[in-house]
Amino acid sequence: MIEIKEEQLEDILDKAIKKIETQHGMQLLSITKKIAPLDPLHFFEVAKGMKKNRTFWTSTIDDFYIVGVGNAVEIVAEEERFEVTENQWSKLLDEAIVYNPYKVPGTGIVTLGGMAFDPKKPRTDLWKKFSASQFTIPEYMLTKEDGSYYFTINIRLKRDDHAIQLANELEQVEATFFSERPRNTNGLITNEKIEIQPSEWKDSVRQAREEIRKNKAEKIVLAREVRLKFNKKADITTVLENLIQTQGNSFIFALEKNDDCFVGATPERLVKIEKDHLLSTCLAGTAPRGHTEEEDMAISHSLFHDEKNRQEHDFVVRMIKHAIKNYCTDLEIPDEPVIYPLKNLQHLYTPVTATLKKGYSIFDIIKQLHPTPALGGTPREESLQFIRDNELLDRGWYGAPVGWLDSNQNGEFAVAIRSGLIQGDEASLFAGCGVVKDSDPEAEYEETNIKLLPMLSVLGG
């Protein structure tokens, strides 16, 4: 990765073009500049007119945004996805030219994307546009970090490109993002809500419970699908806007593949890396919010002292500790969880901090952590095998790692729960629950209904 000093756009482009050695060679150039404040949702909406795929990420609690437009480079892996993705990413950074005097998280070369929950589960037509692992380096990107705004251009240059002509084109594109664009935000209405095999799903809960009672597993997480049909094509910008307004303390994301868009508002961080500082979180154990302050406190108290939820939470804490201890030093985990409140739900929450050892990357940690017991179960292989054999859906990217990483050794991934795959005027929503030896299928079914609320509420349901 070559860093270049502050110069005019034409000069930066001209120098990068001259580095291309062969007639058919290509050079990835990344240029980041600081810009005036620009609404990330406006940036996302303007891109709709460009007919390019869009990516969106925000950590609402940090007021941190990355919005990507287009596809300068795509990293796709179907086999050995962690190793292949990391190797392609490292090779790309080694060969790229980067102009980024700021080096704040989410600037420079950034790739956004995610992975399938279980690549061994056969892919259905529902998820045909999403690979086992797929990351996009956008052509144009807006980053909001610590109250400042940054605009990044990632461009693949050819030897016969003309610097002045390219500079003019890029400046026109940048100006487009600042232009006014009216937006139709008329309400979306769910005309039809189709429960996919609810009785069969409850049967699978009973079957999982029997496996656990035979000591073949301690916990198995089973997910189900609800299919929605709308009165019109869903506007993704409006969906994101509503999620931002209603789902505080969440990671809100959108990953667009042509007419399909995977969208969610997940409270569950998998891992965050800043240089060598690591933060992971255990989020397991769920209850609804109360209608009054007194009722809310009573539910919180009940959640905190509920044996099933505490057991479920402890599974996750122990797994995360065991998974990352060989990759980190200075590992710190509190003795007890706290209550983590969201708009519709509340969870048991435990933060985990550590220092990443030299020679390891965020991909090493993701590989160890995914899937957590909150999404797969425990033991991992036994629960995953049961899910492969018995779950009634293709999870696709539901419950899997989604997030971003940059050329400055920063990155953050969340677990893609509270999510749905939007396809024009239809959508599939997903929710799951952890089955243990005393699970009641009806109670688990009601828990999934609660977990569907965040997405239903913004999709006219």
Domains of the chain, by residue range, sit at: 2-177, 190-458
Instruction: Establish whether the linkage from the previous residue to 119 is cis, with ω within 30° of 0.
Output: no
Mean pLDDT (the chain, rounded) = 92
Helix/strand/coil for 225: strand
pLDDT (0 to 100) of residue 282: 86
Q: Where are the alpha helices (DSSP H) in 286-434?
A: 293-305, 307-324, 362-369, 380-390
Exposed/middle/buried for 451, CB within 10 Å: 0-12, 13-18, 19+?
Answer: buried
10 annotated to bind ligand: no
In sequence order, what DSSP letters do the residues of 361-390 get, joined into one string?
A: -HHHHHHHHSSPTTTTEESHHHHHHHHHHH
**According to the model, what pLDDT value does residue 73 have?**
96
219 is catalytic: yes
β-pairing, 401-406 vs 219-230, is: unpaired
Residues linked to residue 58 through DSSP beta bridges, in sequence order: 65, 252
Max Cα distance, the chain (Å): 72
> In the CATH hierarchy, which top-level class contains the domain 190-458?
alpha beta
Active-site annotation holder among 268, 391, 412, 444: 268
Give the model's pLDDT for residue 318: 86
Nearest-angstrom CA–CA distance, 252 and 234 = 17
Model confidence at 23, pLDDT cuts 50, 70, 90, reads: low
**What's the average model confidence in pLDDT over 114-122?**
95
Output the pLDDT for position 106.
97
Please pick, among 219, 391, 412, 444, the residue that the annotation labels catalytic.
219
CA torsion sign for 185, 126, 461, 294 is: negative
CA dist 288 and 266 (Å) reads: 16
User: What is the pLDDT, as a whole number, of residue 21?
Assistant: 73
Is the entire prediction scored with pTM above 0.95? no
Per the annotation, the verdict on 268 as an active-site residue is yes
pLDDT in tens, 262-290: 999 999 999 999 989 999 988 888 888 99
pLDDT band at residue 308, thresholds of 50, 70 and 90? confident
DSSP 123: P
Check residue 342 and give its pLDDT.
82
Please determine, for residue 149, whether its predicted confidence score (pLDDT) is greater than 90. Answer: yes
The pair of structure tokens assigned to 334 is 């509190």
As a whole number, mean pLDDT of residues 313-324 equals 87
User: In a 3-state reduction of DSSP, which class is residue 141?
Assistant: strand
Please give the residue that has the higher pLDDT: either 198 or 4. Answer: 198
Q: Which of 433, 426, 442 is nearest to 193 (CA)?
A: 426
Contact in structure between 349 and 64 (CB atoms under 8 Å): no
pLDDT digits (tens, 9 = 90+) for 369-389: 999 888 999 899 999 999 999
The single-letter code of the amino acid at 176 is T
Answer whether 282's CB lies under 8 Å from 320's CB. Answer: yes
Q: Render pLDDT for 184-239 as a digit per residue (tens, 0 to 9).
A: 666 899 999 999 999 999 999 999 999 999 999 999 999 999 999 999 999 999 99
Banded model confidence at residue 24, pLDDT cuts 50, 70, 90? low
- Cα 76 vs. chain centroid, distance in angstroms? 16
Residue bearing tokens 């069969």: 200
**What percent helix, strand, coil does the chain show, rounded to 5?**
35, 35, 35
Q: Give SS3 for 222.
A: strand
- pLDDT for position 197: 96
Tens digit of each residue's pLDDT (9 = 90 or more) over 155-166: 999 988 889 999
**Does the pLDDT at position 442 exceed 70?**
yes
| Residue 45 labelled as part of a binding site | no
Cα-Cα-Cα-Cα torsion 290, 294, 299, 304, nearest 10 degrees, comes to 140
Which candidate, 83, 104, 85, 101, places its Cα nearest to that of 93? 85
